[in-house]
Each structure stands twice: as C-alpha cells, then as structure tokens.
Amino acid sequence: MPAGEVAVVGGGLIGLFSAHSLLERGYAVTILEAGTLGGGASRVNGGWVCPARSDPLPSWGVVRDGMRSLTSPDSGSFFLHAGALPRVAGYLARFLASSGAGRFSRSWDELDLLNGRTAGLVDELVEVGIIDGLQDEGFLMLHSTRDEAEASWASLRAVSRRGLCPAPEPIVGRPALLELEPGLGDAAQFGFVHRGDRWLDPSRLVDRLAASLSSRGARFVTDTQVRAVRQRGTRVELATGSGVVEASHAVIAAGAWSEQLLRPLGIRGYVTPGKGYSFTIQPEHPPTHVLRLGDTHVGVTPMGDRTRVVGMVELDGTAEGLHAGRVDVMKRKAAPYLSGIDWRASTDEQVGPRPMTPDGKPLIGCAPGADRIVVATGHNMLGLSLAAPTASLVAELVVRGRAAAVPAFDPMRFTRRRG
Ligand SMILES: Cc1cc2nc3c(=O)[nH]c(=O)nc-3n(C[C@H](O)[C@H](O)[C@H](O)COP(=O)(O)OP(=O)(O)OC[C@H]3O[C@@H](n4cnc5c(N)ncnc54)[C@H](O)[C@@H]3O)c2cc1C
C-alpha cells in the first residue's frame, strides 16, 4: 500500500528528481508532461553540477548587460527584447530590487542551503547507478589579459571560502594552457583550473532517470497539459484536456510555464522564461575540461563524443522560439578562444526556457491554503545543480506539509511584498 499517490506536473529535471525522492519515500507517482520528458530546458543545458558557482543572477553587472542589450543587441549575454518590456516589467522591477550587494549576498547564502547538499546527494545517485558519466577534470577559466585572469581568480578564491570547493589552481600563461588544451585560440592568454564542480550529459540523465523511475512503478503521461490544479479536502484534482486526474498530492514542477498554474492558486511568483541556447561543435582538438571563455558568459562542455557550447539569457516574453541571431552572437564571442573549428558546421542548435525568478532563488513550498500542493520551480540557471536537494525538500513537504517549509524559498515571497 503506497503512502499516497502524487501527481507531478512537468517531466523536466525538477519533476523527475522529485518523482525519484517520492518513490523512495513510498509514494506512488504519476508524471504528467505537456510534451516530452526533458523537452523544456532540461536537455538543452550545459550539464554543470556546479554548487561552487551558484551565485544568484541578479547583480549590478547583469543589470548593466541587460541595459546595454537594449541599444546594442549584439553586445550582451543577458539580452532583453525592447518589445517584451511590458510582459517582463514585473519580473524586471523585482530583479532590480534584488540586485543590490546586500540582497545578492543574502540570496547566495540562502541558495547554499540547497547547494551545500548537492555533492552528497549526487554521489548517492552515482552509487545507485542512476547518474553515470559524471566528469570532474576541472573547469578551465580562460582570459585574454592577466588583469582579467587575476580578477576572476580572486572571485573564485572568495567562492572557495564558502566551503563548497577548493581554492583555484595558480594562474598560468598560454604555453601551459596549450598543454592542457591544445585547441585554444589566441584570446586564451592566461587561465587557471578550478575544481569542485562536475558535469554530465543532461539528456542522458533525463533518459536514465526516466528508465529508473519507470522500472520502480512510476507512471508517465506525456503530451498531456495540466490546465489547473486544486485541492478539495484531502484530495487534489488536476484538470487536463482528457479529464481530471485525482491524487493525494500534487507537485508543480512546470519550469518556465509554472506561472499560469500558480496564479489561480494565489501565488504571484514572477516565473519568467530566460531563454538559453546550446549547440554542438566539432573541434579539431576536443576539450577535456569545461571551458569558461573570459567575460563572454559562454561555456563549452565536453559531452562524450560531442562538444556543447552554451550561454545567453534572452528575455523576449516567450518560452519558445529560437532566434538564430543569438547563436551567431555566441559564436562570435567564443571564436577568439578556440581554434580548429568550422563554426558554420555547428549542429543541434537548441533553445530552452530557464525558469527565472526575480531574486535568483527557486520557489519551493506549499501553496497557500493547500498543503497538498507543493510548488517546485524557478531554478533559474541552476536546475540541474539544485535538482537533487530540491527533490529531497519536495518529498519532505509532501510528507510533513508546511512544517517542512524553508522560508528562503517561500513561493509567496513576491505575492506578499506587493500585497
Ligand atoms: C542553455 C542552458 C544551459 C543551462 N546550463 C545549466 C547547467 O549547466 N547547470 C544547471 O544546473 N542548470 C543549467 N541550466 C538551467 C536548467 O536547465 C533549468 O534550471 C532546469 O532545466 C529547470 O528544470 P525544470 O524541470 O524546472 O524545467 P524544464 O526542464 O523546463 O521542465 C518543465 C517541464 O514541464 C512541462 N510543463 C510545462 N507546463 C506544463 C503543464 N501545464 N502540464 C504538464 N507539463 C507541463 C514542460 O513541457 C517541461 O517538460 C541551463 C539552461 C539552459 C537553457
């Protein structure tokens, strides 16, 4: 006899990890997915399991980048479409309010409540064979000048003092960098290795998780959009196009699409799609480290026999639609750092909507007046990194209700502020 039946809305990383934790607690689980498993942001991502670089996005640097992109569309990696302003104004206003130094560092401390659990929980999943192919050869930070490398080194040294990674290795010049990675371009003059974060192929992870869940009795209902979720007494009802699904509990893990399910529950989360892009290149010398390319905010991840380039946060007010121009900007930014690449031959260009929140922290907690509906969304740029600790908290919330709530992730924090 299961402890209860949980309907999970959304088959992305947050929904799938939550399903895993709930099965572990003895619940029967059904995953309702509007499209295909991992078809939102989860398969598109960079694959970084990176508790050491989990600072929240809202900061003055990003605000500057966003402002610049309004007048110079090819400059920034945080790209705001002027036409989208009316749709994203509520998010942006609260983002600005979260960008001051005090708020930034408080949010970062709070994110570490989850980050601090990532490595241990991921290791457990490696042990039981759900996660495989986790790489830990280090992230190679590349810079065009010594000043830039020193500033980046100092900021990662400060990060290491938070206790989630070792101090970065010493800065080296181009000859030593070329010994580590022979395929570097001329812009890579100085750099250093930073350890503590790991990476994997997120698409493979989605498939392995789904197979493991299915073998333990989880039910998947794909191509089925949930239109509304409500609690009636001790049951929850999920309205879909093909009827109502009943369960003892529901988890809303609908990524960038979550807002439309949250609003009727009285939650104003300002979850906004921040589109990220990735594509595959075929380097003459495939990298063996994750590469971070100066201040471009473009990263390169080795994924088995493929090399994935990732980056960009684009706010255009929609969750779908790939703008080829954004891919071109990423290529232009990356090209000086890499040699031996035919950029026109890139493949697998994809876009995925990150579920952004104004303060960079996820919304995890019970819906107001509905203990049996648990919200787990808004993971911004960190959904893979934060999936395991989020899932563990989701399971606690299902088991213990509001008593398990962590105030830092209260889904109502923006609703209350504006009355
Ligand atoms: C280019 C890029 C690079 C990234 N790199 C990293 C990284 O290296 N490390 C990291 O930690 N994070 C990274 N991220 C962020 C990470 O991918 C996201 O935070 C994460 O995928 C969010 O997971 P999710 O399950 O909440 O959302 P999603 O993966 O988007 O899943 C939500 C799912 O819900 C479904 N859904 C929506 N509405 C409904 C509904 N009404 N009914 C039923 N189903 C519904 C959608 O179809 C979708 O499948 C990156 C993102 C991008 C785009």
| CB of residue 352 inside a 6 A radius of ligand 1 | yes
The whole domain housing 33 covers: 5-43+203-271+360-417
Question: Are residues 185 and 213 both part of a single domain?
Answer: no
Q: Cα-atom radius of gyration of the chain, to the nearest Å?
A: 21
| CB of residue 301 inside a 6 A radius of ligand 1 | no
Question: Are residues 260 and 378 both part of a single domain?
Answer: yes
Confidence bin at 418 (pLDDT 50/70/90): very low
Residue 73: its pLDDT value, please?
A: 66
| CB of residue 274 inside a 6 A radius of ligand 1 | no
Domain C-terminal end among 305, 339, 355: 355
123 belongs to a structural domain: no
CA of 340 to the centre of ligand 1 (A): 32
Q: CB 24: neighbour CB atoms within 10 A?
A: 12
Pairing of strands 290-293, 139-143: parallel
Name the nearest CA neighbour of 413 among 371, 378, 370: 378
| CB of residue 183 inside a 6 A radius of ligand 1 | no
Instruction: Tell me the per-residue pLDDT of 155-200, one tens digit each, with 9 for 90 and over.
Output: 999 999 988 899 999 999 999 999 999 999 999 999 999 999 999 9
Domain C-terminal end among 355, 375, 390: 355
Task: List the residue whose alpha carbon is closest to atom 20 of ligand 1.
Answer: 383
| CB of residue 58 inside a 6 A radius of ligand 1 | no
| CB of residue 354 inside a 6 A radius of ligand 1 | yes
Ligand 1 atom nearest residue 277's Cα = 1
| CB of residue 378 inside a 6 A radius of ligand 1 | no
Question: Are residues 305 and 246 both part of a single domain?
Answer: no
| CB of residue 384 inside a 6 A radius of ligand 1 | yes
Residue 75: its pLDDT value, please?
A: 66
Using most ligand atoms within 8 A of CB, pick from 21, 43, 257, 271 the residue to mutate for ligand 1: 257
CA of 117 to the centre of ligand 1 (A): 20
> What is the percent of the chain with per-residue pLDDT over 70, rounded to a whole number?
98
Residue 57: its pLDDT value, please?
A: 81
Residue 101: its pLDDT value, please?
A: 83
Pairing of strands 347-356, 139-143: unpaired
User: What tokens does 161 get?
Assistant: 């003092």
Using most ligand atoms within 8 A of CB, pick from 20, 197, 227, 379 the residue to mutate for ligand 1: 379
CA of 58 to the centre of ligand 1 (A): 19
User: What tokens does 24 get?
Assistant: 């572990």
7 CA to centre of own chain: 22
50 belongs to a structural domain: no
Asked if pLDDT for residue 328 goes beyond 90, the answer is yes
Task: List the residue whose alpha carbon is closest to atom 15 of ligand 1.
Answer: 381
CA of 154 to the centre of ligand 1 (A): 31
Residue 67: its pLDDT value, please?
A: 74
Instruction: Tell me the per-residue pLDDT of 213-240, one tens digit each, with 9 for 90 and over.
Output: 999 999 999 999 999 999 999 999 999 9
Question: Are residues 192 and 87 both part of a single domain?
Answer: yes
Residue 237: its pLDDT value, please?
A: 98
CA of 44 to the centre of ligand 1 (A): 8
Question: Are residues 344 and 323 both part of a single domain?
Answer: yes
412 belongs to a structural domain: yes
Question: Are residues 251 and 370 both part of a single domain?
Answer: yes
Residue 60: its pLDDT value, please?
A: 78
| CB of residue 45 inside a 6 A radius of ligand 1 | yes
Span 120-137, mean pLDDT? 96
Domain CATH number, residue 393:
3.50.50.60
Task: List the residue whose alpha carbon is closest to atom 38 of ligand 1.
Answer: 254
Question: Are residues 229 and 348 both part of a single domain?
Answer: no
Asked if pLDDT for residue 81 goes beyond 90, the answer is no
249 belongs to a structural domain: yes
Instruction: Tell me the per-residue pLDDT of 362-401, one tens digit each, with 9 for 90 and over.
Output: 999 999 999 999 999 999 999 999 999 999 999 999 999 9
- Min mean pLDDT across 46-55, 248-257, 326-335 is at 46-55
Domain C-terminal end among 355, 376, 408: 355
Question: Are residues 82 and 179 both part of a single domain?
Answer: yes
Report how far residue 294's alpha carbon sits from residue 300's, in angstroms, rounded to the nearest whole number. Answer: 12
Question: Are residues 82 and 178 both part of a single domain?
Answer: yes
53 belongs to a structural domain: no
Asked if pLDDT for residue 99 goes beyond 90, the answer is no
Distance between first and last Cα of the chain: 43
| CB of residue 388 inside a 6 A radius of ligand 1 | no
Q: Give 391's contacts (C-beta < 8 A, 6+ positions apart).
A: 14, 17, 18, 20, 21, 376
51 belongs to a structural domain: no
Residue 239 to residues 245, 261, 313, Cα–Cα distance (Å): 6, 11, 32
Confidence bin at 77 (pLDDT 50/70/90): confident
Ligand 1 atom nearest residue 14's Cα = 25
Domain total for the chain? 2
Question: Are residues 90 and 229 both part of a single domain?
Answer: no
Q: Which residue has the higher pLDDT, 348 or 82?
A: 348
Span 19-48, mean pLDDT? 98
Span 241-257, mean pLDDT? 97
Q: Which residues of 128-164 are buried (b: 16+ CB within 10 A; e: fewer)?
A: eebbeebbeebbbbbbbeeebbeebbeebeebbebeb
Looking up tokens 């049996």 gives 372
Residue 376: its pLDDT value, please?
A: 98
Span 300-322, mean pLDDT? 94
Question: Are residues 167 and 82 both part of a single domain?
Answer: yes
Confidence bin at 65 (pLDDT 50/70/90): confident
110 belongs to a structural domain: no
Question: Are residues 184 and 92 both part of a single domain?
Answer: yes
71 belongs to a structural domain: yes
Confidence bin at 419 (pLDDT 50/70/90): very low
Domain CATH number, residue 346:
3.30.9.10
Mean of the per-residue pLDDT values of the chain: 94
